[in-house]
A and B are shown apart, each in its own frame.
Chain A
Amino acid sequence: MASRKESGVSSSNTLDSPVKQIQIEGLVVLKIIKHYQEEGQGSEVVQGVLLGLVVEDRLEITNCFPFPQHTEEDADFDEVQYQMEMMRSLRHVNIDHLHVGWYQSTFYGSFVSRALLDSQFSYQHAIEESVVLIYDPIKTAQGSLSLKAYRLTPKLMEICKEKDFSAEGLKKAAVGYENMFEEVPIVIKNSHLISVLLWELEEKSTVPSKHELLSLSSSSSHLEKSLQMLMDRVDDMSQDIVKFNTFSRNTSKQQQQKHQYIQRRQQENTQRQSRGEPPLPEEDISKMFKPPQPPPRMDTLLIAGGLSVVLDKHLIQCDFRTLLIRRYCWFVPE
């Protein structure tokens, strides 16, 4: 297999952020799963708030509560008020009321968007250590719990702070799509009482544990759908590239025109001088040739980042599937 680089997300060895590890309680995992299962079937994303505390270089997430869906009738629904009330009530029952991040479900890995960036930026700006937990329900249904924690890299934070999204700004900060998000490793920790509960459940459970992971059929629409999402993203990307190409072509054409105009002017001026007439006034060249708008680079970056994340996941899945099938092949002749 070709060696795979973790593009789109820099590996956690190079983290120099205040948070090196995330510790989640089992309760939070269950709540997130339940929230998506019950409320997330129609729309694409469900969101919620994470509560916890920071211990040394670990971020401990001890509880969470969901956010209601955005509906058009709730024009007067006050998100902030809901949040405040919820946190106040939770404080009465001794639940940690410190806001440490938020979670979101994703649809086949398409979570990198402007909205996510803005939200995460405002969170990280207010609270240094906040993270966004991305829960992938479809991958989880396939057999392995898919929960990832992301933060914005410090470089990206600076750019967002200055709101300088032009090409020069990005070049200055040397932010590529690889350095947008950093992934933080997650560890699940349960208290003793919850462990006892888990043993009890294991004894009493009548539902057998699922072995979806071993299912060979890739005809289940997951692979197809992922590929379709991939194609959509690649389409977006290529459109963006086309836009950029036209922009650069336009700029160079315009430069040429400017040069020509200046030369002609100079020629005319020399001619007039030789004839003794006053030279024509120097016109404001920049007003004549308005430079075309450079396309917003931020979106390109976002698309590239999202694409690379999807590609990564894809690659991992395909590699693992091929491995599985290869192993299975050994049993066939017998």
Chain B
Amino acid sequence: MKYCPTCRGSCVKLSSSLASTLPPQTSRGRHLTRDFLWKNMAVYGPVVKIHPVVLASIADSYERRNEGATRVIGTILGTIDKHSVEITNCFSVPHNESEDEVAVDMEFAKNMYELHKKVSPSEAIVGWYATGFDITEHSVLIHEYYSREAQNPIHLTLDTTLQNGKMNVRAYVSAQMGVPGKTVGVMFTPLTVKHIYYDTERIGIDLLHTTCASPSRTNGLTSDLAQVGTSAARVQDMLTTVLAYIEDVLSGKVIADNSVGRCLMDLLNKVPFIPAEDFESMLNSNINDLLMVTYLTNLAQAQISLNEKLVVL
């Protein structure tokens, strides 16, 4: 068993019959590290789509865990499609874990699920989550319980201990393995995880992201104009990056990539070709409409305040 010296020991251990002193390299010369495998392993099973609210909920319940508990578990709810599972909600379930045994409050889980069902009847139990880095033996027991509640439950892990400096989100399904009839075991096979957002969620996340920048981790809800300013600044940044790239390609520093070129063509074609006078007249009529609305609103405001004074007389 050898380790790759360049990856500092996080490569997959391979038996000596399969490799020489270094782990095999892919066609592009990258070392087979564990992370690489996670991203590219063949995946048998549905694609798991997670909404950000689920992850935030899990992180929050981890922060509120009881004294002495190293991890929290809970149920995840969502909808099942043919090829994918969409996880939209979750709730934590109290449990006790020690060296030899694990106790999960099943009654509680059932109750909570009933309550949640009243609000969103379309959500079903699709699996369970646990915080922490790896899968323990206790997880197998818990997984067995959940397979009674849902078909082929999904096990989601959120790495709150921040191993590898990242908070990894992983999803697994269980599969039988071993010799049938003799020792049968359970293996957790990984699934691809995708983050999906509703439009409004995306906007919410953008706003929440701004709190990361400030030192006290707070942020007031900005006024409209300030947000327009930030949006415009972002678009400007994107344009400067694109321009810099084009300059590099033209001066020969970077090899031109055809797909990028095609995207650029799309971008330029999107700007509609309108003669300048038409454009101006369109803008002007738009402004006229808005000015009219402004005038009307001012009028209405004056009207109500007048009415108020008259009535109170």
Contacts and interface: CB of A to CB of B under 8 A. Distances in A.
Given A26-B56, A30-B53, A140-B200, 8 more contacts: A30-B52, A33-B198, A34-B53, A37-B200, A143-B203, A198-B212, A206-B194, A230-B300
- Of the listed residues B61, B293, B304, B312, the one surrounded by the most CB atoms of chain A closer than 10 A to its CB is B304
A33 B279 CA distance: 37
A143 B231 contact: yes
Q: Is chain A's binding surface mostly helix, strand, loop or mixed?
A: helix
Contacts of A314: 293, 297
A188 B221 contact: yes
A332 B220 contact: no
B219 interface: yes
A315 interface: yes
B311 A201 contact: no
25 contacts: A27-B53, A30-B56, A30-B208, A31-B57, A85-B111, A140-B203, A170-B312, A176-B312, A187-B218, A187-B221, A188-B221, A191-B59, A192-B217, A193-B62, A193-B160, A194-B56, A196-B162, A198-B209, A201-B205, A207-B197, A214-B235, A307-B300, A315-B294, A318-B294, A325-B287
By CB atoms of chain B within 10 A, which of A7, A94, A202, A324 has the most?
A94
A31 B312 CA distance: 43
Contacts of A170: 312
Interface string A63-87: 1011110000000010000100110
Given A94-B64, A230-B300, A201 B55 contact: yes
A110 B272 CA distance: 37
Interface string A184-225: 011111111111111111101111011111101010000100
B236 to A, nearest CB: 11
Interface of B: 51-53, 55-57, 59-66, 88-89, 91-94, 105, 108, 111-112, 115, 118-120, 160, 162, 166-167, 169, 194-209, 211-212, 216-222, 224-225, 227-228, 231-232, 234-235, 276, 279-280, 283, 286-287, 289-291, 293-294, 296-298, 300-301, 304-305, 307-308, 311-312
A198 B197 CA distance: 13
Nearest to B66: A94
Interface in A286-334: 297, 300, 304, 307-308, 311, 314-326, 328-329, 332-333
A33 B200 contact: yes
Contacts of A297: 311
A269 to B, nearest CB: 36
A82 B217 contact: no
A95 interface: yes
A2 B298 contact: yes
Contact of A191 (B61, B63, B232): B63
Contact of A194 (B59, B166, B197, B311): B59
B160 A332 contact: no
A234 interface: yes
A229 interface: no
A33 B108 CA distance: 26
Given A85-B111, A304-B308, A329-B283, A316 B224 contact: yes
B304 A307 contact: yes
A196 B293 contact: no
B235 A211 contact: yes
A79 to B, nearest CB: 10
A311 B297 contact: yes
Nearest to A195: B212
A256 interface: no
Given A29-B204, A204-B195, A67 B60 contact: no
A293 to B, nearest CB: 16
Contacts of B198: 33-34, 37
Contacts of B92: 93
A127 interface: no
Most buried by A among B66, B198, B216: B198
A145 interface: yes
Nearest to B118: A68
A246 interface: no
A159 interface: no
A193 B60 CA distance: 8
A134 interface: no
Contact of A33 (B201, B218, B293): B201
Given A37-B200, A321-B290, A209 B206 contact: yes
